[in-house]
Every structure is written in C-alpha cells, then in structure tokens.
Amino acid sequence: MLLPSGAARSRPLAFTLVELLVVIAIIGVLIGLVLPAVQKIREAASRLQCQNNLRQLGLAFQHHHNQHGYFPTGGGEWWATPTYVNGVPAIGKQQEAGWGFQVLPFIEADTVWKGGSATNDLDRIRVAVGTPNKLFFCPSRRLPQTNEFSDPAYLDGTPVECALCDYAGSNYEETGILRFHATTRFQDITDGTSNTLLLGDKRMNRARLGMPNDDDTGYTTGFDDDVIRRTDLPPAPDYSAPKGDGGFRFGSSHIGGFNAVFADGSIHFIPYSIDPTVFRYLGNRSDGQAIHLDY
C-alpha cells in the first residue's frame, strides 16, 4: 500500500534486548565504581566523628583535673554502681563507678550524673546507668544502645537497663592514668602527657553487640574490661563470631587502626601494626620511654 504524500515510516519507540543489556551493564559498572567511594566517604566521616567524641572526652578529663586536682579514677569493682552520699554524687576515691560516670558533669550531662529528679539512690542509679550518651559510641560501629542486664552481684540481681560504651581507658595493668580506686595527677605522668595514652576505641565482637557480654555491660561499671583495656596486648580490629569478646584489647571497626586521645588532649590514629613494645610504652605514664608518634 502506498503511503500518503509527506508521511514518514515511524520506528517503534522501544529498546531492543541488546540495547537493554548494554544499559544494564553500564549501570552495573557505574554502581560498582560509586559504591566503594560512598563507603569510603561515609567511613571517613564516621572516623572524624569518633575522633571528635574522644576529643570531647579528653577535654572532660582535663576539666575534671582543673576542678578537682586529679583525673577521674578507674572506679571500684566491676559490679560497682554510682555512689551517692546524701543524694550527691561522690567524687575521687569515694566514687565506685568508673570514669564514664565521673566525666558526666563535663560533657553536658550534669542532670544524668545527679540522677535526674529521682528522690532515692536506687532510682538515681537507674537514671545514671540507663541513659545513653552519643559521645560514648563510635558511629562506625553502632548508634547509642542500651541492654537489660541482670547479675546476682549487680544490684542484687535486679534487672536494670544499662547504657553501653565503645571507648575504654588505659590501662588494666594500672601503669596508666586510670587505676583501681586511685587518682592520677599531671605531675604523676613523668613521661609527659603527649606520650601517654588516655582513652581509645575498644575492640568488640560485632556479632554480640548489645547482648550480655563481659565487656559490653555498661559505661558506669568500675575497673573492668568494659571501660578499661590493656596496653601490654597489641590492638586488634573488631570481628564477628558466635562467642567471645574484645579480649581486653583496644581496637575498633575502623580500617587499619583505632582512634585514641592522649593525656594532653591530642588525637591519634594508632595502626594495628604498631610495635607491641611501643604500644606498651604509650600506656605507661612513668617508664622513662618517651615515644614520638608521627601519626
């Protein structure tokens, strides 16, 4: 049949199968190129936020020292809860709870430190141990989290909601700044504050985050691997397994190393490959080994 004068033959407006496959392949390649870059940017932002958390906590230690003449203690036994004397939080050696509780007034959490509006010590403790603070959580690992904890040694087995923590102090050997029922002053850090590790990311089993675990009980616990780690063991990255915890080590979900704040408030990214001897020196406040870090 002849077409009317001036009419044109029209082509169907659709992809052929070959064209569709080519487009899908191109999109797949672009996604493969973009996703790693997005992940890197996201991790870089999380790492910076983690460093800022530690910077704020380091400043809190400094302010505590300025106000009281010494750094927070490492607290008492692991089952310790915040100590209140006549409804007022105890300080120094009288305070059984660990450093996480003791720095609250210096990170804009004075109300939590005092136990909110509670009128008895048990309710004050519930408020203090159960209120999460975003400064205690590394965004590369998790959002602020709580866990219901119950143990015969802790509040006589009464179930209580506990806010958790991703950071720990140096060190469990008690050669560092945080010690069991003991205070440390600037003059005690004879190696220099710029050579002495204060706080850092703690290694965790990511598969058990928020579950009952020896090192993920609560930020107010006393001298315990929940908030204190060793420097005579080298740091290691997070891992995932059905059982196990961080093994008293510093570490993180960051790639290549973990964030740390030193006693002078400076921030460092310490690689997992750090020499174990150097790492042990960094944890000791007075061993005479002054270490210069170039990272």
Predicted confidence (pLDDT) per residue in 154-194, tens digit: 888 888 999 999 999 999 999 999 999 999 999 999 999 99
Domain presence at residue 13: no
Q: What's this model's pTM, rounded to 2 decimal places?
A: 0.84
pLDDT at 36: 62
Domain presence at residue 7: no
Cα–Cα distance between 228 and 171 in angstroms, integer?
6
268 against 17, higher pLDDT: 268
Closest CA to 269 of 247, 252, 289, 284: 252
pLDDT at 255: 92
Cα–Cα distance between 177 and 171 in angstroms, integer?
7
Domain presence at residue 262: yes
Cα–Cα distance between 78 and 176 in angstroms, integer?
18
pLDDT at 12: 56
- Residue 171 structural domain: 30-283
Domain presence at residue 23: no
Domain presence at residue 24: no
Q: H/E element holding 168?
A: strand 167-170
Domain presence at residue 293: no
Query: pLDDT digit string (tens) for 85-116?
Result: 999 999 999 999 999 999 999 999 999 999 99
**Residue whose token pair is 């850090």:** 189
pLDDT at 163: 95
Cα–Cα distance between 235 and 61 in angstroms, integer?
23
Quote the percentage of the chain above a pLDDT of 90.
72
- Residue 1: pLDDT above 50? no
pLDDT category at 38 given cuts 50, 70, 90 is low
- Residue 10: pLDDT above 70? no
Please state the domain count of the chain. 1
Domain presence at residue 42: yes
Domain presence at residue 127: yes
Buried b (16+ CB within 10 A) or exposed e, 116-150: eebeebeebbbbbbbbbbebbbbbbbeebbbbebe
